[in-house]
């Protein structure tokens, strides 16, 4: 029996990651840059698709192409921060949904929080820059409406950028005559806020595991350990 060459085994492993619909956008971006360099950020989607097919004999699932292109968009433009439409499509893609520009499908608060987390992980804000100010008023208000519709009046840290309506922020005045109703309303919102945090933590844990397992050719162990330590949960 002829055993496959080591390079063939690696090629098959890389192909598996490209094909797996559960591979995160960040992991796909890492694979792509590891294989093709940062020049890939300027490639057209079809060029990437054909290159991967030629090198690994697989067709990238559309959901993975959408994740990868979402990450590339975030790395090369500010659309995630300034365009409600782009932000919506990017958020949905990073949460495993195939992009559909013909349908308006607002994300949930949890999905929004994850998109912000994953984008920031790849493109961290400069220390002296106010993070919230990277987002346009329209996008901040958009996230605020999403939170309000789910009854989240005290968003978790990752969604602090959300701009809530002043009337929602002053909900204690609305329920001034019925403290018990306010307490129930507040507790429900807190529970949903905690659900958002749990969703982000769960996905971050899986993403860190994926990044650790990727068969990358170019991984500096010191830099990688610093990255893991910084983003561990």
Secondary structure, 3-state, 8-68: HHHHHHHHHHHHCCCCCHHHHHHHHHHHHCHHHHHCCHHHHHHHHHHHHCCCCCHHHHHHH
- Main-chain phi, psi angles of 150, to 5 degrees: -100, 5
pLDDT tens-digit series, residues 36-45:
999 999 999 9
- On the question of pLDDT at 69 being above 80, the answer is yes
- On the question of pLDDT at 219 being above 50, the answer is yes
What is the chain's length?
A: 233
User: CA-to-CA distance for 122 and 114, rounded, in angstroms?
Assistant: 13
pLDDT tens-digit series, residues 2-53:
334 447 778 999 999 999 999 999 999 999 999 999 999 999 999 999 999 9
If you average pLDDT over residues 112-127, what whole number do you get? 91
Nearest to 158 by CA among 103, 117, 127: 117
pLDDT tens-digit series, residues 141-164:
999 999 999 999 889 999 999 999
Give all strands (DSSP E) within 53-125, no chain letters.
Answer: none
């Amino acid at each position: 029996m002829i055993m496959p060459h080591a390079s063939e085994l690696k090629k098959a492993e890389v192909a598996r990651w490209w094909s797996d619909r559960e591979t995160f956008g960040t992991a796909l971006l890492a694979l792509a840059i590891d294989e093709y360099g940062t020049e890939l950020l300027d490639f057209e989607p079809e060029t990437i698709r054909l290159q991967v097919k030629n090198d690994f004999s697989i067709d990238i699932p559309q959901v993975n192409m959408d994740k990868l292109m979402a990450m590339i968009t975030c790395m090369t433009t500010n659309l995630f921060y300034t365009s409600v439409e782009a932000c919506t499509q990017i958020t949905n893609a990073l949460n495993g949904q195939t992009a559909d520009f013909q349908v308006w499908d607002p994300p949930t608060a949890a999905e929004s929080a994850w998109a912000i987390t994953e984008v920031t992980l790849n493109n961290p804000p400069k220390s002296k820059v106010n993070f919230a100010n990277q987002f346009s008023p329209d996008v901040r208000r958009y996230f605020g409406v999403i939170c309000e519709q789910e009854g989240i009046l005290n968003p978790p840290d990752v969604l602090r950028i959300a701009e809530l309506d002043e009337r929602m922020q002053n909900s204690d005045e609305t329920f001034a005559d019925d403290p018990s109703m306010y307490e129930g309303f507040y507790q429900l919102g807190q529970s949903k806020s905690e659900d958002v945090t749990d969703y982000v933590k769960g996905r971050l844990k899986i993403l860190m595991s994926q990044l650790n397992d990727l068969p990358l050719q170019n991984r500096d162990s010191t830099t990688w350990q610093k990255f893991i330590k910084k983003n561990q949960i």
